[in-house]
Amino acid sequence: MSLILEIHDLWKAYDEVQALRGLNLEVKRGEIFGLIGPNGAGKTTSLKIIVGLLSMDKGTIKVDGRDIKEEPYEYKRFIGYVPESVALPEYLTLKEFLIYSGKIREIPNDQIKERIDYFLKAFELEDKRNSLILSLSRGMKQKAAMAAALLHDPILLILDEPLVGIDPVGQHRIKEIFSERVKEGKTIFISTHMLDTAERMCDRVAVIHRGRRIASGDLSSLRRISEEGGNATLEEVFLKLTEEKIEEDKG
Amino acid sequence: MADAMSRLLNVYLVKVKIVLGAFKASKINLLLILVYLFGVVFGCFGLGMAVTEAIRRGMDLSVYVDEFSALISLGLAVAILASFRGFIVFDYEESLFFTSTITPWIFLAASILSDLTIFSIFFGPFFVLLGMISVSLSLSPMIVLLLFIVAVLLVLFILFLKKALSLLISVYADSIIRYILMVITVLLLLPAIRLLYPFPIRYGGLPYPSTFIAEALLHLLCGKQPPSISLLGFFSYFISSFILLVFCSRRDIFRYAKAIPFFSPFDASIKAQTIKMGQNIRLFSKIGLRFTLALKSESLFRFLIKKELIRMIRDGSLFAVLIFYIVVLIVSVATKSAGDSFPAWLFILAIYSLTVPAMLVTNWRVGELNSLWIPLTSGMNLKIFFSSLLYAFVLVSIPIPVGIIIILSFVAHPNPLLPLVLVVSASMIGASIHLFVMIRFLEKKRKATPGFMISWMSILLSSVFLSPAYVYVALSFIFGFTPPIDLASGAGLIIYSYFIFRFFLKKLEQKALHIEI
């Protein structure tokens, strides 16, 4: 499988705080890739740099082979993004928001209409079509943002804590949509704290700690790296890896 | 007792540090506040010189009791209306203090002290003004002492009143208190009509707190002993407000508190404004939903302008602009009878036309900053995004005042040319500079700067670029240029403004690439 996302030696600092210290990642086409790590590990920072909301201090990021520094606009046409705290234009109705999202992505009008109908149904938001975003619950806003991110059929969907605030039925539906997309050869890149979700959803994960990748691979290879037993859960593997790293750092 | 005092001090320190802590977020915050303080200090210095000189020449300030009372009444009315929100606390206060051993009394006392501290920082220069007048006029120590006591008690009176009424409204939520307070507010402001029109009731003859305070302060400033009735009257009101506060805080007031997300007016006020914006959207979308953003075959540029216009209808920005200029219309028509009020009217227009673009851009920041990630991550051409935004601002900030000016040219003033040039230039220059400055502050390391300071800075910058228009309007007014000269110069100024508009739009497009959110 070819690579859809390549991150090489990524560095980022906020004043005195070094958020990323030479992060390296490779995400393959057609997989669900999870980025996991403790609070402050640099997950959200990495995602924000990939989608162009933050600048990087040093490093290279390629999306579908395009260097994002060289082509700061073009690559965004192929990605969809949903942040952790979804803030949407509250004065628009849900339908208007999706029209807006489609228009700025320059999707033809007939396709916008068709896809809005499809995603409103898929995310069970049909009855909220003409409601103001302001009146939607947090979970509904999350689903609306996801619908907007999928509207242009991106080859890489980047999601920060995608299932937080969404009810179990909604979570199930989202997982189904993710699976359908992966079958079509699209890639999902998620950052999450929910290790059980990552374990069940992701084909591969990368564990990052203090801005560095400390391990990556599928669950079985992570078990090998962490020297946990064959039945170890991702949580156990994660705890082992991060504790080792903390001990190392202390040393 | 010592334990209670120590807890009070702790609560007070936490509150003050949290509100003022925002200044630490950026060095530019400190710089801007210093600039503000210096600006106000110099303003007060100038005012102090003028007042001192007037008193030296024998002017009796007590003849301005009505005007000064109206000003104080306005402050009291604002305090009363602000109390209608009820007993509001910040969410951090609820989780930190209400769940601890802090008693309602300690909390209230600390709140009043912290309000007083913050008030003193920003209004400190006015106390400097009082000091300056006292020294310049060599007032007796007794008079100076009394002057400062009255000034401090006035601030405390307003704070006690606001706190007590907020509690009263929260505790007796379903009572007629709101209506009574509204009647009081109207009564408080009613005599101010006399300042515009002949009206039988004047502040001077009423036992209002504002009248007592005004009489006391004006007498003291002239170095005279204030009438005993004024001092006694004011102290009675002050004591009553304190008793009211004690009465209202007897209950377990924490139960009645309404927690809102914390915001410091000096930093994250965008949070508070976002909450207010939500309320505005709820209110204005009742009308605003009649205008919808439909899927039509049109350019992205036109679509985005339409989207911004819809935002301005639904978040109340358009309504605010209308109100702004309707005030100009009312003032202008009201002062028509007072002889030639053209310069005053032109001055108000100059101030308003500069403020409107700042308000529009600030509202955009409040409503759209959090959702700016949508266009920024979409891969769209940001030039189109920002130019559509600017054109939308201009589309709102030009036609409304132009309409008002045209109405006024028929009703009150014959020559609409100068005001039109002023409004069109201010709109184009103001909108582009405000947005440019706002975006500049979204760059790395500049995000923590308070919105009001950004607006203030951009107003200053806009004024600089607008100075040719101001100078011309002043010259034309003084020398009475002929209409053809006005027309030619006006056209030149509008072309100049358009160039400034284009220049900042280009700069804006470059800066947009460096936005970090």
Q: Are residues B340 and B278 in the same domain?
A: yes
Q: What is d(CA B319, CA B373) in angstroms, rounded to the nearest whole number? A: 27
Number of domains chain A is built from: 1
SS3 A213: strand
Q: How far apart are CA A75 and CA B145, in angstroms?
A: 70
**What ipTM does this complex have?**
0.92
- Whether B430 and B501 have beta carbons less than 8 Å apart is answered as no
- The larger pLDDT score, comparing residue B155 to residue B337, is at B155
Output the pLDDT for position A229.
67
DSSP collapsed to 3 states, A28-92? ECCCEEEEECCCCCCHHHHHHHHHCCCCCCEEEEEECCEECCCCCCHHHHHEEEECCCCCCCCCC
pLDDT value for A49: 94
State which residue of chain B sits closest to A74, comparing Cα positions.
Answer: B379
> Is the model's pLDDT at B337 over the cut of 60?
no
How far is Cα A130 from Cα B73, in angstroms, rounded to an integer? 45
Cβ-based contacts of A93 with chain B (< 8 Å): 289, 292
pLDDT at B400: 84
Q: Does the residue B116 lie in any domain? A: yes
User: How confident is residue B27, by pLDDT bands cut at 50, 70 and 90?
Assistant: low
Clarify whether residues B186 and B278 are in a common domain.
no
Could you tell me the pLDDT band of residue B444, with boundaries at 50, 70 and 90? low
The answer to whether residues B256 and B281 belong to one domain is: no
Whether residue A51 and residue B377 make contact (CB cut-off 8 A), yes or no, is yes
CA-based nearest residue in chain A for residue B297: A109
Same domain for B294 and B222: no
Looking at chain A, the number of H-run helices and the number of E-run strands are 8, 10
Q: What is the pLDDT of residues B393-414, one digit of tens each?
A: 999 888 888 888 888 777 766 6
For residue range B36-72, list pLDDT tens digits in order: 777 777 777 777 888 888 888 877 777 888 888 988 9
Q: Kindly report the nearest CA distance between residue B220 and chain A, in angstroms.
A: 53
Q: Is there a single domain that holds both residue B374 and residue B353?
A: yes
| Residue B243 CA: distances (Å) to CA of B20, B83, B106, B239 | 30, 17, 16, 6
pLDDT at A216: 84
Above 50 in pLDDT, residue B268?
no
- Based on the fold, state whether residues B301 and B226 are members of the same structural domain: no
Question: Do B285 and A113 make contact, defined as CB atoms within 8 angstroms?
Answer: no
The residue of chain B nearest to residue A54, with distances taken between CA atoms, is B516
pLDDT confidence band for A51 (50 / 70 / 90): very high
Q: Decide if B432 contacts B389 (C-beta within 8 A).
A: no
| Cα separation, B136 vs B131, whole angstroms | 9
Q: Of B395, B314, B306, which is closest to residue A103 (Cα–Cα)?
A: B306
Output the pLDDT for position B194. Answer: 78
At B348-386, the pLDDT tens digits run 777 778 888 888 888 888 888 889 999 999 988 888 999
In chain A, residues with a C-beta closer than 8 Å to the C-beta of B314 are 91
Domain extent for A136:
3-250
Interface test with A, best of B281, B376, B377 (most A CBs within 10 A): B377
Domain boundary among B235, B260, B285: B260
Contacts of B303 in chain A (CB under 8 A): 103
What's the pLDDT score for residue B351? 78
Question: B133, B51 in Cβ contact below 8 A?
Answer: yes
Does residue B323 lie within any of the structural domains?
yes
Rounded-to-integer distance, Cα A176 and Cα A179, Å: 5
Q: What is the largest CA-CA distance in chain A?
A: 61
Residues in chain A within 8 Å Cβ distance of B380:
73, 104-106
Residues of chain B in Cβ contact (below 8 Å) with chain A:
277-278, 281-282, 285, 288-289, 292-297, 300, 303-304, 307, 310-311, 314-315, 367-368, 370-371, 373-382, 385, 444-445, 513-514, 516-517
Which of B242, B260, B278 terminates a domain? The answer is: B260
Are A91 and B285 in contact (CB < 8 Å)?
Answer: yes
The β-bridge partners of A187 are A156
- What is the predicted pLDDT for the residue at B333? 66
Range(s) of the domain holding residue B364: 269-512
Q: Both B57 and B199 in a single domain?
A: yes
Tens-place pLDDT, residues A118-127: 999 999 999 9
Measure the CA dihedral A177/A178/A183/A184, to 10°: 80
A134:B278 CB<8 A: yes
Nearest partner of B56 among B139, B152, B158, B140, judged by Cα:
B139
- Rounded CA separation B452/B439 (Å): 14
How distant, in Å, are the alpha carbons of A188, B242, B423, B494 from that of B431?
41, 46, 12, 14
**Is A90 close to B277, i.e. CB distance below 8 A?**
yes
Residue A157 Cα, gap to closest chain B Cα (Å): 12
Query: One-letter amino acid identity for A21?
Result: R
**CA distance to partner chain B, nearest, from residue A95 (Å):** 9
> Chain A interface residues facing chain B, Cβ-Cβ under 8 Å?
15, 51-55, 72-77, 79, 81, 83, 87-93, 96, 99-101, 103-106, 109, 112-113, 132, 134, 148
Q: Closest Cα to residue B88, out of B20, B13, B163?
A: B163
Verify that B385 and B356 share a domain, yes or no.
Answer: yes
Give the whole-angstrom CA distance, residue B45 versus residue A40.
50
User: What's the pLDDT score for residue A157?
Assistant: 95
Would you call B385 and A81 a contact, using CB atoms and an 8 Å cutoff?
no
**Residue B274 located in a structural domain:** yes
| B60: its two tokens | 């009796």
User: How many CA within 13 A on the CB side of residue B74?
Assistant: 8
- Going by pLDDT thresholds of 50, 70 and 90, the confidence category of residue B306 is very high
User: Does residue B221 sit in the same domain as residue B343?
Assistant: no
Considering only residues B113 and B198, tell me which one the structure prediction assigns the higher pLDDT: B113
Nearest to B368 among A76, A89, A93 (CB): A89
**Contact between chains at B289 and A93 (C-beta distance less than 8 A):** yes
User: Nearest-CA distance from B91 to chain A in Å?
Assistant: 19
Backbone angles phi, psi at A137, to 5 degrees: -75, 170
pLDDT averaged over every residue in chain B:
83
CA B513 distance to own-chain centroid: 32
Instruction: Give the domain-ending residue among B260, B292, B315.
Output: B260
Question: Is residue B495 scored above 90 in pLDDT?
Answer: yes
B495 lies in the same domain as B346:
yes
Q: What is the total count of domains within chain B?
A: 2
Are the beta carbons of B377 and A54 separated by less than 8 Å?
Answer: no
- The answer to the question of residue B143 being in a domain is yes
Give the containing element (helix H, strand E) for A7: strand A3-14
Q: B169 and B301 share a domain?
A: no
Residue of B373, B387, B517 to mutate for A, most A C-beta atoms under 10 A: B373
pTM: 0.71
Chain B, nearest residue to A114 by Cα: B295
**Which DSSP category does B25 fall into?**
G
Q: Which chain B residue is nearest to residue A145, measuring alpha carbons?
A: B374
B282 token code pair: 């709820």
Contact (CB<8Å) A89/B315: no
CA B154 – CA B130 distance, rounded (Å): 14
The yes-or-no verdict on residue B270 having pLDDT over 60 is no
> Do B450 and B398 meet the contact criterion of CB atoms below 8 Å apart?
no
Cβ contact A116:A102 at 8 Å: yes
Beta-carbon separation of A103 and B303 below 8 A: yes
- Same structural domain, B376 and B441: yes
Instruction: Give the burial class of A180: count Cβ atoms within 10 A of its Cβ; 0-12 exposed, 13-18 middle, 19 or more buried.
Output: exposed
Query: Could you say which DSSP state residue B176 is in?
Result: S
CATH number of the domain enclosing A89: 3.40.50.300
Predicted local confidence at residue B450, as pLDDT: 64
The whole-number average pLDDT for the span B280-298 is 80
Angle at B517 between CA B309 and CA A207, to 5 degrees: 135
**B517 in a domain, yes or no?**
no
Angle at B342 (CA atoms; ends B339, B344), nearest 5 degrees: 100
